[in-house]
């Protein structure tokens, strides 16, 4: 079996992320993407519902097209100058789209104060990675919020960009990151963005559809090497509960992790004091504990490793 160049470049990007994470001093393309979205949103998000929806569609394809063309042009020029420069630039751009180290560090920033009984600090750190109100959360609710975020963001932050990088290299990985950034900035169902962000939210759902399901399978396969995993229950829970999630994709990773760990996710959340009832996923065979955060980090790593192996084998075969 011949190892393709994309497999090697993806491996370089992953190693970069594991080694240096997301240092502040390193230029990050997502900042530029965010500024472009903000600029266009301020100019275009006005007028009638129909006009906002149309301009929202234009925003989506303008941002994604711009990011793709710029990334493609940069990589093409780099390869024309020297193959080593092209490989490095492509690996670097892909590295900026994944967040293995970032997700792990964010979860540990919640876990450490929680394990020391410092609930205010743990709640504050959780508020940095979730949109829900955290100021009054109990220990189990802090854990639930962290586990849910880790499970769901394994797709957005790791496996989906890897998937699109396998499909179309750095330009497509960057285009995916543009889609994801659009969804996070304008893909809300409130009055301001319901119409303007419609296209961004729908495209994000489409882009994550297959990666989310492969990630769920990857979690399950990785559990064969993780002590205490309840693989039979995980399959039952995922089949039963994954579609209950408000996102067409988020439930697949959350339900699988809940089943493997024998815990229940979902329930009541508050957003700016307004109650939100999230469908429950998994069976509450035991109470959530602080150590479940570290256990979810293990599943996160196992999941992306198996995901990478699956795509590497598939890419090498074809």
> Which range marks the domain in which residue 268 is found?
5-317
Query: Which among 280, 58, 93, 278 is positioned nearest to 186, based on CA atoms?
Result: 58
For the residues 120-136, what does the mean pLDDT come to? 94
Q: Which two tokens stand for residue 308?
A: 């990478």
d(CA 14, CA 21): 10
- pLDDT-derived band at 150 (thresholds 50, 70, 90) equals very high
The Cβ of residue 25 has, within 10 Å, a number of other Cβ atoms equal to 4
Contacts of 298 (CB under 8 A, 6+ apart): 226
Can you give the pLDDT at residue 246? Answer: 87
**Residue 169 near residue 6, CB atoms below 8 Å:** yes
- The tens digit of pLDDT for each residue in 205-239 reads 999 999 999 999 999 999 999 999 999 999 999 99
CA–chain centroid gap for 169, Å, is 18
Provide the number of structural domains found in the chain.
1
Rounded-to-integer distance, Cα 204 and Cα 207, Å? 5
Decide if pLDDT at 317 tops 90: no
SS3 content of the chain, % helix, strand, coil (to 5): 75, 5, 20
Q: Flag whether the pTM goes above 0.85.
A: yes
Residue 142 to residues 7, 90, 113, Cα–Cα distance (Å): 37, 38, 11
Q: What would the pLDDT profile of 156-193 be if each residue is shown by its tens digit?
A: 999 999 999 999 999 999 999 999 999 999 998 888 99
First to last CA, the chain: 10
């Amino acid at each position: 079996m011949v190892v393709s160049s994309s497999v090697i470049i993806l491996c370089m990007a992953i190693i970069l992320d594991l080694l240096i994470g997301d240092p502040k001093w390193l230029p990050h393309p997502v900042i530029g993407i965010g500024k472009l979205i903000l600029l266009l949103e301020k100019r275009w998000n006005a007028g009638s519902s129909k006009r906002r929806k149309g301009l929202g569609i234009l925003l989506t394809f303008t941002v994604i097209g711009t990011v793709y063309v710029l990334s493609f042009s940069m990589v093409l020029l780099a390869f024309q100058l020297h193959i080593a420069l092209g490989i490095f630039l492509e690996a670097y751009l892909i590295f900026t789209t994944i967040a293995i180290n970032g997700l792990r560090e964010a979860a540990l920033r919640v876990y450490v104060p929680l394990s020391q009984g410092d609930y205010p600090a743990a709640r504050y750190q959780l508020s940095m990675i979730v949109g829900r109100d955290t100021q009054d959360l109990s220990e189990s609710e802090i854990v639930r919020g962290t586990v849910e975020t880790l499970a769901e963001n394994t797709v957005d932050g790791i496996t989906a960009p890897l998937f699109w990088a396998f499909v179309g290299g750095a330009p497509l990985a960057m285009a995916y990151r543009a889609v994801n950034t659009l969804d996070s900035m304008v893909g809300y169902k409130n009055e301001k963005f319901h119409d303007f962000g419609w296209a961004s939210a729908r495209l994000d759902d489409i882009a994550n559809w297959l990666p989310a399901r492969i990630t769920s399978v990857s979690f399950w396969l990785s559990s064969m090497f993780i002590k205490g995993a309840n693989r039979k229950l995980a399959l039952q829970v995922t089949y039963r509960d994954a579609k209950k999630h408000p996102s067409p994709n988020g439930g697949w990773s959350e339900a699988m992790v809940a089943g493997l760990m024998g815990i229940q996710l979902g329930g009541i959340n508050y957003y700016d004091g307004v109650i939100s009832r999230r469908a429950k996923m998994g069976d509450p065979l035991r109470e959530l504990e602080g150590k479940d955060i570290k256990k979810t980090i293990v599943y996160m790593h196992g999941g992306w490793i198996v995901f990478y192996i699956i795509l590497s084998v598939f890419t090498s075969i074809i």
